[in-house]
């Protein structure tokens, strides 16, 4: 089971590749992915023990210097976050849909974790910048009250840094809305 994740977002592909190497050499962590996304950003997602993830993130950040856009270490990450990043979350409840949109790709990761820990919701997708101009978004479902609470909690995590673009909660959405989001 994944205990802690680290995520590093950079605005340079070359420095991103280098930072990923520093991350892997700094401590015993497992690389989940390291890849470029639109528009020329680079994301590194890795996991391991809290101390190892923290040390690795610090090493990657030091190597990347001013190319770092955002970063996060999430101890006790909710399992739905990784499943939603990998698009492995089926839709089961259609009472409400919530969408949170961010300027930072990393913000979607920590907002998704905060949302799913705040209320009983299901994460459908955590979209990390590919094909959407380097922004990110989170889609979740559940009862209307739970979705409202989850979106509020998720957005609150990114508001301090100014990374929130917009958010919505749609009660009783048409089925086609869910299908269009998949």
Q: What is the pTM of this model?
A: 0.82
| pLDDT score for 2 | 66
Tokens 């040390």 — which residue?
Answer: 55
- Token reading at 15: 């420095």
Burial of 132 (0-12, 13-18, 19+ CB in 10 A): middle
Q: Which tens digit of pLDDT belongs to each residue from 124-149? A: 988 887 777 778 999 999 999 999 99
What band does 161 get if pLDDT is binned at 50, 70 and 90? confident
Per DSSP, the three-state class of 28 is coil
| pLDDT score for 137 | 93
| pLDDT score for 42 | 93
Residues 6+ away with beta carbon under 8 Å from 82 = 2, 5, 32
What band does 102 get if pLDDT is binned at 50, 70 and 90? very high
Can you give the three-state secondary structure of 11-26, one letter per residue? CCHHHHHHHHHHHHHH
Q: Specify whether the CB–CB gap between 105 and 128 falls below 8 A.
A: yes
Residue 135 CA to residue 123 CA, distance in Å, equals: 18
Q: Does an H or E element contain 84, and which?
A: helix 79-85
Stretch 49-78: mean pLDDT: 95
Nearest residue to 145 via CA among 172, 119, 178: 119
Per DSSP, the three-state class of 173 is coil
Higher pLDDT, 87 or 3: 3
- Token reading at 172: 């009783």
Per DSSP, the three-state class of 116 is helix
| pLDDT score for 133 | 78
Range from 29-33, 34-38, 89-93, 107-111 carrying the lowest mean pLDDT = 89-93
Residue 85 clears pLDDT 60, i.e. is over it: yes
Distances (CA, A) of 9 to 16, 41, 81, 137: 8, 7, 17, 15
Q: Domains in the chain, ordered, with CATH?
A: 4-75 (3.30.70.1710), 79-181 (3.30.70.1710)
């Amino acid at each position: 089971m994944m205990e802690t994740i680290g995520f590093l977002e950079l605005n340079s592909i070359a420095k991103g590749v280098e930072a990923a190497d520093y991350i892997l050499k700094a401590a015993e962590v497992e690389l989940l992915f390291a890849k470029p996304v639109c528009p020329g950003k680079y994301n590194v997602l890795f996991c391991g023990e809290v101390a190892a993830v923290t040390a690795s993130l610090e090493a990657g950040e030091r190597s990347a210097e001013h190319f770092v856009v955002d970063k996060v270490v999430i101890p006790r990450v909710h399992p739905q976050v990784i499943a939603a990043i990998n698009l492995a979350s089926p839709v089961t409840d259609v009472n409400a849909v919530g969408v949170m949109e961010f300027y930072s790709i990393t913000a979607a990761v920590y907002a998704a974790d905060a949302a799913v820990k705040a209320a009983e919701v299901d994460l459908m997708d955590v979209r990390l910048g590919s094909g959407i101009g380097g922004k990110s978004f989170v889609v979740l479902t559940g009862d209307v009250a739970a979705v409202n609470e989850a979106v509020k909690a998720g957005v609150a995590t990114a508001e301090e840094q100014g990374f929130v673009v917009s958010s919505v909660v749609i009660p009783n959405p048409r089925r086609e809305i869910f299908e269009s989001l998949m």
